[in-house]
Structure 1
Amino acid sequence: MSGRRDWWRRNRWALAALPVALVAALAASSDRVATYYWHAGLHDARTAGHGEWFELHDEYTDGKGTHERVVRVRLDRTAVLTPAALRQVRVEVPSGARAVQVTLSLEADPDLPLALCRLALRDADGTRYDYQRPGAGEVTTARPMSPCVPGDTPGPSESLGRLDEVLSADERDPRPRSWTVEPVVVVPDDARVDEVLLWWREPVYVALDVD
């Protein structure tokens, strides 16, 4: 029985994404194609200047229904990492690219599931460079599984309904009410980054000005 519980826990990230994939599949096969495509992209921007707090009000749906999501976010800075800093955070950058470290401060209720966020940088031409989740054994401070919550205290996961009963309880400490993250995104050398994008559910996203 313990082996089965361990399997559910190891695969929780993939399982948590299943409701999203199912909703997308059902929407694509319905008559409301226009509505589906509206919700499939990032085109409902909520903007904030560099160093300004923004409070996002949104909704999310999990195995227990629809809930409100309220989270405050602030872009503190962006910085290009030096070769020495890259070695320290263990991030490999290919030739012709550079690594940009994004420092974000966030505030939210510790009981609010937030780990399934997405983060990206957007340049002056509108090109988007998404944060890439690390593979097995590649998780570091600069490349956590989730770019918007602390690696050691990510907080609760979204409910999987009845599957919650077979998952092992998360014994880590609760997420604090305020915290800072510093994920790294790799971009081309010639990209002029103008915005940091953060989102949980399309089409709504927060666009934070770099300058």
Structure 2
Amino acid sequence: MTTGRGWWARNRWPLAALPVALVAALGASSDRVSTYYWHSGLHDERAADRGERLTLHDEYTDGDGTHERTLRVRLDRTESLTPADVRATGVDVPPGARAVQVTLSLEADPDVPLASCRLALRDEDGTRYGYRPPGFESVRSAAARPMYPCVPDETPGPFESLGALDDALTPDDSPARPASWTVEPVVVVPDGARVEAALLWWREPVYVALAVD
């Protein structure tokens, strides 16, 4: 007959090791959570005042390996558009909202991939209102809006490498992007939103925050 004392005696070493194994498992789990969190979301800010030119050095990995992405960007101005201006841009603005035009000046080597950028306006409460590319709105709006908010629509330059698809995305005879240019994307925000910064990013967690006066 097996007694309770005999079971505890036979299993005392596995039981003693259990707390150590539990701590190790929790430690490994927290490390994975920390790694995932650090590469998800915008929390590595590079800030500049309006009118100040910021130089961004960042890394990205594509089908050809890891590369450095270097560019310079400046927020020239933000401006709420009048109804006539909105009609000219083709942007759909619902009731209770307004359209804000963001003027950015950028500089980069024509060979640096930049077309994957994302743009948003952040209000004083931390809420972000993102630029919406064509495909989310009417045909009229899609025809008027650029696909990418930070590069010239006609000369976006190269894309990050996707291997065999590279030639289809950026043909050899496509015109080169200029070394410096200005864009004026339009972002829709609520009427009562007090915009404090224009955010620009390519790969999380790094992003540029350009202050709005």
Q: TM class by shorter-chain length? A: 0.7 to 0.9
Alignment of 1:51-90 (within 5 A): 51-90=51-90
1:133 corresponds to 2:111 = no
CA-to-partner distance for each residue in 1:131-165, whole Å, 9 max, x for gaps? 11111854355x21100000000001111123436
**2-side partners of 1:167 and 1:108: how far apart?**
20
**How many residue pairs align between the two structures?**
182
Quick one: percent identity of the two aligned structures? 71
Q: Any runs of at least 4 consecutive aligned residues in structure 1 with deviations exceeding 2 A, and if so which?
A: 136-141, 162-168
Unmatched runs of 5 consecutive residues or more in structure 1: 1-30
CA-to-partner distance for each residue in 1:188-211, whole Å, 9 max, x for gaps? 000000000000111110000001
What is aligned with 1:169? 171
**1-side partners of 2:167 and 2:195: how far apart?**
44
RMSD: 2.0
TM-score (norm 2): 0.80
**2-side partners of 1:76 and 1:166: how far apart?**
34
Q: Residue type matched to 1:139 in 2?
A: A
Unmatched runs of 5 consecutive residues or more in structure 2: 1-30
Matched residue of 2:142: which SS? coil
Q: Residue type matched to 1:155 in 2?
A: G
CA-to-partner distance for each residue in 1:46-99, whole Å, 9 max, x for gaps? 000010000000011111000000000000000001000011111110000000
Change (3 A) 1:144 1:90: same
Q: Residue type matched to 1:146 in 2?
A: Y
Which of 131, 142, 149 is 1:147 aligned to? 149
Alignment of 1:1-211 (within 5 A): 32-135=32-135, 137=139, 138-140=141-143, 143-164=145-166, 169=171, 171-211=173-213
2:199·2:208 contact (CA, 8 Å) conserved in 1? yes
Structure 1 residue 33, shift from structure 2 partner: 2.7
Change (3 A) 1:105 1:39: same
Matched residue of 2:73: which SS? strand
Structure 1 residue 172, shift from structure 2 partner: 2.8
Change (3 A) 1:165 1:198: closer
